[in-house]
DNA sequence: TCGGTTCAGAGTATT
DNA sequence: TCTGAACCGA
């Protein structure tokens, strides 16, 4: 047996071999966090202190869960499937499937992703005749999710005025609608299983006794509800190990509550706080920058990274004239790295916002450098894939109105908005699903077409009955008419490819689950083990409502005392319920859940050696030999929407900290004096974060201009803007860049720069782009000029002081340079 | 039901 | 500048 503890440093060793008590591990970037987490589990099992079934390990992303599982199987000679390792949502799904009756859900409840949820909300607003101008669907969605993530049902929400009262009412109506349709949104997965555990004490006690060790990754990213969920599952005999890094908390905007770390320390009386501060990733110059920067944040738990890997190279800083020039410089730099043998895969370009990628992509494309952009549409989010899934969902759960509406007329079968509205009215009157309401519709051509659609779904269900999951998916993709529809579409080839890929995904899913490929998609694998078989009613009219009436919606408690005992006894201990959630339901249902919970990779081409482009957020958790952090400008990074408040600014600073700590060997920071944003050229001041880095660890590739002042000052003519060659040779002269650029041909951005330059000279005393000084606000750059004479006003970007309009007759401005 | 036009808005994002 | 959504006419 391999020695698990070999090569751990003292702190890591201490964390891995902690006694069974609650503990908080403050794990700095690159400090071997995942290794500690997995080795801890392996060590506990290997030393006989813990059985695999006693493990609950929670992550945020499927990727992290997969990595943990993979590392564990490499360390231990056991099948990690017996452990509960997964995302919060994945584990909640598992819990709810296993105890669906106690949770008042149909066994094959469907999961709404954010887009589905928004569609459901829009439908609700329309049905309730709500003015969606006054109550925008997106706001309501935000409100609902925010409330749920705080652990609040509609009745618990603080109502302060008519407006919020209406929101709360709509929240309640939305929950009723979801319940009627047998669907749950992401937040509901969490909240529902939280309530399940809260109300069913037997169930809760069972799991509390079972999970001897609970481990949570990225604890700084947990929201209030997730923390409550953990508290629900942690019993008197459980040990909770929370691993996180408050300095890498960058998701407050989506509900993460760093305060959970301090709360955990207090509420669990944590006596074991271990800091992992030795960094195995970056050279010292890079770490020094990270440390110095993050020290400016208040209210940290406190941590300083160190390395014994040596100083390495200083961090290079480049000032560009335009975003185009920034991109061009970056390409030259990347090219020389590639020439030196660096892998493109090991080089990343980071930016604060997605909009910045365009210029970079354009330049990379023109230069013929392969690149890969992270983000964007994921596989299961593609329209054609969602269409196919909607057919499958409808087969599984006819009450799913969201799925119904998505495909009732796709491919087009002559069912227009009018017919759908009629159907919706009928459904509302009968308090039934749209699917069931088709039987109620008596008259009109609409009725016939609707019945035809329902007939199609019924047929698909019957025809696929004895097929395996991939066969069934293929059958549906074909017979729904989707393939044929896309064949006539001239851009449909890719979509057809994706539909074929969906069939592969289904096959891959089966083998991942370790289930034979010959199991019928529609049949419960172990349906005998489940008290009630899935509903198999044939006709829509005869199909009973999927779930209990809305009145009983949140009555998860007393009435079920009997079944509570039963479900614990039923399955938990003989492994049925605690096994893979797949076992309790049909392959199709679990595949659909899988599709919702794991949106899939966003792009192919992972194998190719390409430069990696992504936002700083997306880079969290990754590392690269060389990293370019671009667009380090006030207003962009830190972003103008965040820089006004201390909390916002500190999160931006943590974001910068995350960005810096991605780099192993070489780090480049760049900013540009001008940047195209929203179709307009913006004049920017360099980011304050650059001032916050220790000068000793930096190497300026361009001369460092005075504080926060662009260096092009008052030169208005075009000459100043062909300055790239000038500038670059200057930096080479300073011994800066290794590959001096010698008077290149007019670069592609020159034209734009010339336009920019032309705008400077308006014959006024002040020019756009000019640097000025103000007694109170300091130095800034003129962004715009309005009016004339005594009415003349100028708009000035004072960097951290913000953008101000100043009347020239009042404000005393001085030209700088 | 479709295709075109018009308009507003534009940050980061996992499940 | 670019995108997505809403709207209108055929």
Find the Å distance, CA of residue A416 to C1' of nucleotide C9: 17
Q: Name the token pair of A559.
A: 């009435």
Section A615-640 average pLDDT: 96
What is the predicted pLDDT for the residue at A773?
83
Nearest-angstrom CA–CA distance, A181 and A668: 52
Q: Interior CA angle at A326 toward A323 and A332, to 5°?
A: 145
What is the predicted pLDDT for the residue at A422?
84
Residues 203-232 of A with CB under 7 A from strand C: none
- Omega prior to A514 cis, within 30 of 0: no
The rounded mean pLDDT for chain A is: 83
Residue A713 has pLDDT above 80, yes or no: no
What is the predicted pLDDT for the residue at A128?
86
What is the predicted pLDDT for the residue at A420?
85
Nearest-angstrom CA–CA distance, A180 and A175: 9
Distance, C-alpha A741 to centroid of its chain:
40
Residue closest to B1, CA→C1'?
A416
What is the predicted pLDDT for the residue at A680?
87
- Catalytic residues of A, by residue number, are 33-34, 217-218, 248, 662
pLDDT tens digit sequence for A542-568: 333 333 333 334 444 433 333 333 344
What is the predicted pLDDT for the residue at A749?
41
Q: Minimum mean pLDDT among A189-193, A315-319, A732-736, A742-746: which range? A: A732-736
Residue A66 has pLDDT above 90, yes or no: yes
Q: Minimum mean pLDDT among A383-387, A425-429, A532-536, A792-796: which range? A: A532-536
Q: Minimum mean pLDDT among A64-78, A175-189, A547-561, A662-676: which range? A: A547-561
Residue closest to C1, CA→C1'?
A679
Quick check: A644 and A270 in contact, CB under 8 A?
no
Binned at pLDDT 50, 70 and 90, residue A443 comes out as: low
- Omega prior to A70 cis, within 30 of 0: no
Give the nucleotide at minimum CA-to-C1' distance from A638. B11
Q: Minimum mean pLDDT among A264-278, A285-299, A523-537, A780-794: which range? A: A523-537
Residue A70 has pLDDT above 90, yes or no: yes
Nearest-angstrom CA–CA distance, A321 and A315: 20
- CA-based torsion, A55, A60, A61, A67: positive or negative: negative
Give the nucleotide at minimum CA-to-C1' distance from A679. C1
pLDDT tens digit sequence for A136-160: 999 999 999 999 999 999 999 999 8
Q: Coil, helix or strand for A792? A: coil
For chain A, the maximum distance between any two Cα atoms, rounded to a whole number of angstroms, is: 87
Nearest-angstrom CA–CA distance, A521 and A513: 13
Q: Where are the alpha helices (DSSP H) in A340-443?
A: 357-367, 383-396, 401-407, 417-430, 434-437
Nearest-angstrom CA–CA distance, A400 and A108: 11
* CA proximity to A109, closest of A569, A581, A509: A581
Quick check: A631 and A637 in contact, CB under 8 A?
yes
pTM: 0.83
Residue closest to B13, CA→C1'?
A254
What is the predicted pLDDT for the residue at A488?
80
Instruction: Write the CB contacts of A188 (distance below 8 Å, at least 6 apart in sequence).
Output: A148, A175, A178
Find the Å distance, CA of residue A104 to C1' of nucleotide B4: 48
Q: Is A310 left (phi over 0), alpha (psi -120 to 50) or beta?
A: left
Residue A708 has pLDDT above 90, yes or no: no
Section A508-520 average pLDDT: 72
Residue A729 has pLDDT above 70, yes or no: no
Section A386-408 average pLDDT: 93
Residue A538 has pLDDT above 60, yes or no: no
pLDDT tens digit sequence for A324-374: 999 999 999 999 999 999 999 999 999 999 999 999 999 999 999 999 999
Residue A747 has pLDDT above 80, yes or no: no
What is the predicted pLDDT for the residue at A442?
67
Nearest-angstrom CA–CA distance, A31 and A15: 12
Check if residue A91 sits with its Cβ under 7 angstroms from strand C. Answer: no
Residue closest to B2, CA→C1'?
A412
What is the predicted pLDDT for the residue at A393?
94
What is the predicted pLDDT for the residue at A668?
98
What is the predicted pLDDT for the residue at A519?
62
Residue A79 has pLDDT above 50, yes or no: yes
Q: Is A137 left (phi over 0), alpha (psi -120 to 50) or beta?
A: alpha
Q: Name the token pair of A181.
A: 């349709």
Nearest-angstrom CA–CA distance, A409 and A393: 16
What is the predicted pLDDT for the residue at A574?
32
Q: Quick one: CA torsion of A493, A499, A502, A507, rounded to 10 degrees?
A: -100
Start-to-end CA distance of chain A, whole Å, equals: 71
Find the Å distance, CA of residue A121 to C1' of nucleotide B3: 27
Q: Is A805 left (phi over 0), alpha (psi -120 to 50) or beta?
A: beta
Section A72-76 average pLDDT: 92
A122: phi then psi, degrees, rounded to nearest 5: -60, -40
Q: Which positions on chain B have an atom < 7 Å from some protein CB?
A: 1-2, 9-15
Residues 711-750 of A with CB under 7 A from strand C: none
What is the predicted pLDDT for the residue at A249?
97
Q: Minimum mean pLDDT among A299-308, A605-614, A627-636, A797-806: which range? A: A797-806
The more confidently predicted of residues A745 and A248 is A248
Going by the DSSP 8-state scheme, the letter that residue A348 receives in this structure is E
Find the Å distance, CA of residue A784 to C1' of nucleotide B8: 23
What is the predicted pLDDT for the residue at A810?
75
Percent of chain A with pLDDT over 70: 81
What is the predicted pLDDT for the residue at A606?
67
The more confidently predicted of residues A605 and A808 is A808
- Which residues fall inside 7 Å of strand B, measured at CB? A 60-63, 87, 89-90, 113-114, 186-187, 250-251, 253-254, 352-355, 375, 409, 412, 414-417, 597-599, 614-615, 617-618, 639, 641-642, 648, 652, 655, 678-679
Instruction: Write the CB contacts of A88 (distance below 8 Å, at least 6 apart in sequence).
Output: A58, A60, A190, A226, A229
Instruction: Write the CB contacts of A271 (distance below 8 Å, at least 6 apart in sequence).
Output: A21, A22
Residue A505 has pLDDT above 80, yes or no: yes
Q: Name the token pair of A649.
A: 């600014």
Check if residue A358 sits with its Cβ under 7 angstroms from strand C. Answer: yes
Find the Å distance, CA of residue A465 to C1' of nucleotide C7: 44
Residue closest to B11, CA→C1'?
A353
The more confidently predicted of residues A522 and A167 is A167
What is the predicted pLDDT for the residue at A244?
97
């Amino acid at each position: 047996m391999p020695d698990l503890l070999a090569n751990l440093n003292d702190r890591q060793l201490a964390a891995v071999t902690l006694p069974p008590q609650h503990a908080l591990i403050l794990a700095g970037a690159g400090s071997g966090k995942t290794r500690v987490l997995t080795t801890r589990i392996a060590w506990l099992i290997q030393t006989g202190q813990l059985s695999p079934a006693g493990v609950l390990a929670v992550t945020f992303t499927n990727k992290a869960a997969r990595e943990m599982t993979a590392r564990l199987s490499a360390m231990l000679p056991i099948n990690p499937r017996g452990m509960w390792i997964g995302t919060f949502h994945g584990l909640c799904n598992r819990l709810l499937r296993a105890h669906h009756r106690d949770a008042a859900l149909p066994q094959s409840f469907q999961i709404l992703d954010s887009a589905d949820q928004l569609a459901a909300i829009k439908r609700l607003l329309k049905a309730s005749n709500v003015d969606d101008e006054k109550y925008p669907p997106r706001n309501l969605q935000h409100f609902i999710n925010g409330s749920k993530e705080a652990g609040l049902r509609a009745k618990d929400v603080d109502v302060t005025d008519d407006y919020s009262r209406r929101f709360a009412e709509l929240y309640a109506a939305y929950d009723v609608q979801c319940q009627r349709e047998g669907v749950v949104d992401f937040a509901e997965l969490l909240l529902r299983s939280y309530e399940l555990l809260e109300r069913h004490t037997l169930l809760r006690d069972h799991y509390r006794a079972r999970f001897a060790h609970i481990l949570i990754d990225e604890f700084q990213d947990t929201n209030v509800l997730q923390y409550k969920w953990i508290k629900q599952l942690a019993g008197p005999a459980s040990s909770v190990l929370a691993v996180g890094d408050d300095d890498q908390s960058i998701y407050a905007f989506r509900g993460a509550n760093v305060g959970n770390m301090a709360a955990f320390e207090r509420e669990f009386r944590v006596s074991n706080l271990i800091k992992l501060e030795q960094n195995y990733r970056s050279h010292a110059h890079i770490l020094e920058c990270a440390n110095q920067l993050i020290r400016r944040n208040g209210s940290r738990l406190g941590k300083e990274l160190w390395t014994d890997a040596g100083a390495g190279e200083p961090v290079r800083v480049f000032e560009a004239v335009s975003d185009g020039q920034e991109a061009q410089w970056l390409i030259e730099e990347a090219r020389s790295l590639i020439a030196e043998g660096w892998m493109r895969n090991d080089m990343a370009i980071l930016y604060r916002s997605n909009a910045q990628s365009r210029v970079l992509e354009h330049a990379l494309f023109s230069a013929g450098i392969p690149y890969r952009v992270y983000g964007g549409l994921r596989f299961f989010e593609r329209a054609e894939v969602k269409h196919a899934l909607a057919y499958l969902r409808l087969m599984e759960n006819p009450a799913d109105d969201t799925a119904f509406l998505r495909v009732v007329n796709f491919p087009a079968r002559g069912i227009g908005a009018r017919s759908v509205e009629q159907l919706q009215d009928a459904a509302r009157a009968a308090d039934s699903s749209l699917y069931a309401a088709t039987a109620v519709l008596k008259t009109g051509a609409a009725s016939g077409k609707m019945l035809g659609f329902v007939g199609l779904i019924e047929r698909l269900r019957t025809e696929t009955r004895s097929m395996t999951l991939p066969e069934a998916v293929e059958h549906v993709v074909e017979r729904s008419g989707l393939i044929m529809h896309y064949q006539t579409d001239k851009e449909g080839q890719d979509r057809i490819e994706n539909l074929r890929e969906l069939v592969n995904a289904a096959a891959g899913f089966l083998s991942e689950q370790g289930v034979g490929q010959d199991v019928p998609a529609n049949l419960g694998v172990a349906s005998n083990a489940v008290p009630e078989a899935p509903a198999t009613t044939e006709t829509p009219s005869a199909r009973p409502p999927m779930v209990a009436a809305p009145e009983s919606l949140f009555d998860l408690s007393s009435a079920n005392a009997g079944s509570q005992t039963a479900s614990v006894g039923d399955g938990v201990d003989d492994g049925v319920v605690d096994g893979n959630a797949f076992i309790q339901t049909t392959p199709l249902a679990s595949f659909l859940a899988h599709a919702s919970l794991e949106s899939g990779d966003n792009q192919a081409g992972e194998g190719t050696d390409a430069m990696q482009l992504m936002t700083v957020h997306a880079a969290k958790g990754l590392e690269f030999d060389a990293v370019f952090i671009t667009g380090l400008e006030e207003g962009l990074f830190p972003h103008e929407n965040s820089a006004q408040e201390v909390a916002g600014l500190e999160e931006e600073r943590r974001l910068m900290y995350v960005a810096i700590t991605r780099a192993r060997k070489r780090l480049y920071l760049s900013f540009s004096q001008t940047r195209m944003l929203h179709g307009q050229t913006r004049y920017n001041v360099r980011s304050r974060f650059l001032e916050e880095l220790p000068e000793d660890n930096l190497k300026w590739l361009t001369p460092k201009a005075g504080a926060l002042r662009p260096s092009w000052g008052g030169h208005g003519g075009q000459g100043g803007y062909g300055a790239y060659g000038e500038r670059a040779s200057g930096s080479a002269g300073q011994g800066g860049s290794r590959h001096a650029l010698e008077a290149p041909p007019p670069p592609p951005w020159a034209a734009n720069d010339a336009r920019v330059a032309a705008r400077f000279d308006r014959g006024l005393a002040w020019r756009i782009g000019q640097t000025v000084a103000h007694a109170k606000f300091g130095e800034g750059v003129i962004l715009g000029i309005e009016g004339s004479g005594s009415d003349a006003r100028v708009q000035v970007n004072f960097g951290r002081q913000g953008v101000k309009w100043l009347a020239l007759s009042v404000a005393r401005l001085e030209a700088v340079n």
